[in-house]
Amino acid sequence: MLRWVRQQLGFDPPHQSDTRTIYIANRFPQHGHYVPQKFADNRIISSKYTVWNFVPKNLFEQFRRVANFYFLIIFLVQLMIDTPTSPITSGLPLFFVITVTAIKQGYEDWLRHKADNEVNGAPVYVVRSGGLVKTRSKNIRVGDIVRVAKDETFPVDLVLLSSDRVDGSCHVTTASLDGETNLKTHVAVPETAVLQSVANLDKLVAVIECQQPEADLYRFVGRITVSQQAEEIVRPLGPESLLLRGARLKNTKEIFGVAVYTGMETKMALNYKSKSQKRSAVEKSMNSFLIIYLIILLFEAILSTILKYAWQAEEKWDEPWYNEKTEHERNSSKILRFISDFLAFLVLYNFIIPISLYVTVEMQKFLGSFFIGWDLDLYHEETNQRAQVNTSDLNEELGQVEYVFTDKTGTLTENEMQFRECSINGIKYQEVNGKLTPEGFSEDSPDGNRHGLVKEEELFLKAVCLCHTVQINADQTDGADGPWHANGITSPLEYYASSPDEKALVEAASRVGVVFTGISGDSMEVKSLGKPERYKLLHVLEFDPNRRRMSVIVESPSGEKLLFTKGAESSILPRSKSGEIDKTRIHVDEFALKGLRTLCVAYRRFTPEEYQEIGKRLHEARTALQQREEKLADVFNFIERDLELLGATGVEDKLQEKVQETIEALRLAGIKVWVLTGDKHETAVSVSLSCGHFHRTMNILELVQHKSDSTCAEQLRQLAKRIKEDHVIQHGLVVDGTSLSLALREHEKLFMEVCKNCSAVLCCRMAPLQKAKVVRLLKTSPEKPITLAIGDGANDVSMIQEAHVGIGIMGKEGRQAVRNSDYAIARFKFLSKLLFVHGHFYYIRIATLVQYFFYKNVCFITPQFLYQFFCLFSQQTLYDSVYLTLYNICFTSLPVLIYSLFEQHVHPHVLQSKPVLYRDISKNAHLGFKPFLYWTILGFFHAFVFFYGSYLLMGEDTSLLGNGQMFGNWTFGTLVFTVMVITVTMKMALETHFWTWINHFVTWGSIVFYFIFSLFYGGIIWPFLHTQDMYFVFVQLLSSGSAWFAIILIVVACLFIDVVKKVLYRHLQPTSTEKAQLTEAGSGINCLDSMCCFSDGETACTSVRRMLERLMGRCSPTRVNRSWSSTDPFYANDRSILTLSTMDSTTC
């Protein structure tokens, strides 16, 4: 019970030893001294809260917010001392805000729980009591024997016991873990490989000892002790025996394995970062602004308290005849009285801190997030997937991104390779309708319709069909009975490959007539134009990154010994002594310029004596106990020489649609793109070139294959020097995982300097946690840029969780990335709409919302402060308590909320077609200190005009009513409040560019509602109110013509300066966004903001007239006659992508 409670609270007992002992099928020793080790259950948890910790954890997170904590203190003060306002005025809004936020965050976490439950509740088969038992994934225990069928995902980390194959091998794809789509072969130890039935496995008595869980995907150390006929056989276990959770079984009917790591201890889960509360830059700015306003509040409260006591130094004001003190008041401590007065002023002015800001922001984020899901431009029809929002707290952060970190496989690419071209014997070929056609020939040309293959072509295709590690689906036959056309094109075989390139090449060869039909024993079978041939496989010279090639030695049907080699051109061409080397080199360069992945193919014939020598040297190297790798490398180099070049291939890794345009758009928007991939160096560079991440004109710098700290540091210094010397051209950096580890250990600053001076960075061979480290490195650099990570596999989860904004791609590599992301989209191309349109809108909306809230609260509370100078600082309130409570809740809340949901200051198509507009809002431009200062000063200015304007027009001896009566205290306060409600609402109307009927309804409706409510509230004697101060006050105020004149005059005086400032700034210093506020709508042009309409030869009066028209609606399309010219610098940069059609003066 205690352990369960600890788990529910998020605690996990530490492991007691460095190793774990696992008894297969949980057959524990029978002696009484054995104490079983405690292991985690198999539940995956991506949620933040549990039923038990939701309330305390959520309250802690909410009270970290300055405003919430402040209002809690104010509420407690109101409970403890006698204050001018009721505790309800602070307690009720606080309770409302906390509750709404908790419900929203609880709902979002419930969605995560739901997703977790789907994974944890997945059906699995476990061997128990001599049979297969169906259970749920979460019920698997360490030691259970689990059965996994073909194409299923492993539910835990398993040690392979047996498969449907005699040798105990199976094939696995780890695409969702490390991004690699190739098949990996795993093998069982011989003693368990023979146990292929449930009955035999149930009799197995064995113990596994292995290391405790660690995050490294490629490391596993253990041993298995199998008891057979009173004999114990010990076998070593390595990574080749471990099947990782999240990987998928391929090309194997079924396997049995024993669970060694479960739940959050699996390697996949350990590569997740813990879920932390992400906070947007806007929220941090809000907290800073709140602290400034708190200082203003404290200053006003302290000043008022000091002035009160300075005023009361005169005896006649200390205790006037109409307000005598009680005996208790006379005898009370002066210090306590000072503190009490200070706290009372604090409560009186506390509305300068807008608590309703937080709840409005929460509602805006929550409701606004639905627009992403509803956007049809983000809907992918083929897969029927729409964008989804997992965390709405970061909407505005989408408009602030400076760095994008993207995975390659499945994010930029479709995980599909396609054969495009090849070069054979110095002639370029393309595949046309299942035939190899030389360049320049077609079906219609005299020689175009050729039958069969010439000798060089057939030999090249045989080399492609024999030099690989491709396997054939075990469910299929060798294809002998398959349907064949005259030229032997069609093959029904399904291939699995250790490299996607190899699969594409073997499939291409099969389409043009040379088909690899499988391996039978030690023979490779090929059909050449329908004629079967059998090649005996003698040796495989495995691929390694240093040689950058692989080879096979085979015996042909005629008994000839042949070496077939394929690899990178840099490793094949220098070793070739014959063939069309120069022509092939030119063709390879042409393929590379097209962004194709290139491989060269060569062969060599051996004499019997040469082969005998090679066989002897290979055997010696492979059986060496010391320096085996060096000896093998020497022998491989000895064998792979004097080659005859056959040709080269060009394969395209199919990019997702519009990837190149999206990356180019991100670059134009000032966003730097880093590609982080687990793929090998050559593959990654090739895709970077083809997707436009690296340009052909870019100088590519490399920091790869460094084994020591000193060489890495020296290379970094050389790169930094090169960048300084060639500062004119653009640089791209390629770095691999091992070099990155060395660079981050001691030379972090130098590495960052090199990276920041490069236009594009590519990191290859990256482990999942290394991806997160790179993101953290940028996040914590002095500039503190906003980062975005996008990926589709489990190997991207850490990176997605580390970045400020994490986006999951709904790809082919499982749902882990989507479940742990903040946003999920179906394709990489949707990123541009998400950032340039939704991000832009969300940021502009919330920036205005936040600053408007501070503005209207300064307008609200400053007259209260000024009024104290006229009431002897007696803490008399200027407004009625009902007005105090309803000002933020009812009278001024809806216009700004609707604005923050619907505002579109520029048309979406314009934003997406002009990525440079994104730069206008970068680096929190609209929530910096200058805009904040402007709004605050404007608030104070308006407050002074409200108060002193009313005071001057409604002066002491002015009789304003028909019967000669004068206005009283409450009438004056109501007049100030009326002017304030109208002005702040009209100010919101001035800020609105996109008017809908809802905007009109809430803007003018709020003012009407205020008048109706005030008439209703002041026109009835309410029995539950202990005072009737406001009875008939509002009716009397509105019966005075002078009051109406004062209201109109003060409102116009406040807003006139603001209008003039907008006109001057937009005509004299327009921003790029203001210039772009033109868009096409129907047959004419709608002007979303009058100040964007720059007209030739127009007088200033005409501009002002249009501005005033704009305030009431939209400017007339017929009056807009300026079009963007080709010389305009704003449009010069972005003709390459998504540019709108030009507008001429007749249209505009």
What are 742-763's pLDDT values in tens digits?
888 878 888 888 888 888 899 8
For 554-580, b/e burial (b = at least 16 CB within 10 A) is bbeeeeebbbbbbbbbebbbebbeebb
**What's the pLDDT at 1101?**
43
In Å, what is the CA distance from 524 to each residue of 507, 557, 560, 1042?
16, 11, 15, 103
Computed over every residue of the chain, the mean pLDDT equals 79
Residues 1024-1033, mean pLDDT to the nearest whole number: 62
Expressed in angstroms, the distance from the first to the final Cα of the chain is: 75
Q: Which amino acid is at 841?
A: F
Judge whether residue 360 has pLDDT over 60.
yes
DSSP letters for 835-889: IIIIIHHHHHHHHHHHHHHHHHHHHHHHHHHHHGGGTTT----SS-HHHHHHIII
Task: Give the integer Cα–Cα distance in Å for 281 and 285.
Answer: 6
Listed residue (744, 712, 718, 745) closest to 731, CA to CA: 718
**Active site residue ranges:** 407
Task: Give the integer Cα–Cα distance in Å for 21 and 34.
Answer: 12
Residues 104-114, mean pLDDT to the nearest whole number: 86
Listed residue (709, 774, 720) closest to 743, CA to CA: 709
Q: Which segment of 462-476, 960-974, 985-999, 1059-1073 scores lowest on mean pLDDT?
A: 960-974
Listed residue (666, 691, 945, 687) closest to 807, CA to CA: 666
Listed residue (268, 264, 243, 47) closest to 176, CA to CA: 268
Q: Which amino acid is at 539?
A: H
Scan for tokens 């350990």, then name that residue.
270
Q: Report helix, strand or coil for 233.
A: strand
**What's the pLDDT at 688?**
85
What are 852-885's pLDDT values in tens digits?
999 999 999 899 889 888 877 777 888 887 888 7
Judge whether residue 14 has pLDDT over 70.
no
Task: Give the integer Cα–Cα distance in Å for 285 and 296.
Answer: 17
Q: Do residues 1137 and 1016 lie in contact, with contact meaning Cβ atoms separated by under 8 Å?
A: no
Query: Residue 302: which H helix or E strand, with range?
Result: helix 281-311
In Å, what is the CA distance from 743 to each residue of 410, 783, 802?
28, 20, 20
Task: Give the integer Cα–Cα distance in Å for 828 and 788.
Answer: 13
What are 836-857's pLDDT values in tens digits?
999 999 999 999 999 999 999 9
Judge whether residue 1115 has pLDDT over 50.
no
Percentage of the chain exceeding pLDDT 70: 81
Name the CA radius of gyration of the chain, rounded. Answer: 38
**What's the pLDDT at 1117?**
35
Residues 1094-1112, mean pLDDT to the nearest whole number: 42
**What's the pLDDT at 1143?**
34
Backbone angles phi, psi at 533, to 5 degrees: -140, 145
Task: Give the integer Cα–Cα distance in Å for 528 and 514.
Answer: 4
